[in-house]
Amino acid sequence: MTIDRQLLLNLGLTLISSVLILVCIKVATSIHLPYFVTPALAAGLGFLEPRRGWLLAAVQTVVIWLGYKLVVPTPDNTADADIEAFGLYGSMILTFVGSFIGGLLKRGLDKG
């Protein structure tokens, strides 16, 4: 795997999408918004990098987790904390699923 200009640009997009996911996790009153936004953004990353999408998904997962643990204030209400935690860990899983689907879609479109 080589690190080229395209990968660096896509890593920048990964950071932006990670921040958007963190905002969705924080402002959502239920899990529906993060569970809708995360696979869409991750599929876009997989579409951008069909062969190296797993790397972008791994970076996004780490940024989401670190951002939530280090930057985002945790709510005082236990119910809100549970919803945010469920949204966080579910989004981390959906990042890999969405990236995989986006990569498959791009490879399928390139062949046909």
pLDDT of 60 strictly over 90 = yes
Q: How confident is the model at residue 2 (pLDDT cuts 50, 70, 90)?
A: confident
pLDDT(9) > 90: yes
Residues 6+ positions from 70 with CB-CB distance below 8 Å: none
At a CB cut-off of 8 Å and minimum separation 6, what does 35 contact?
A: 87, 90, 91, 94
pLDDT value at 74 more than 90: no
Domain ranges of the chain: 22-111
Nearest to 17 by CA among 101, 94, 105, 108: 94
Q: How confident is the model at residue 101 (pLDDT cuts 50, 70, 90)?
A: very high
With cut-offs at 50, 70 and 90, classify the pLDDT of residue 111. Answer: confident
Q: What mean pLDDT, rounded, does the chain reach? A: 94
Euclidean distance between CA atoms 49 and 102, whole angstroms: 9
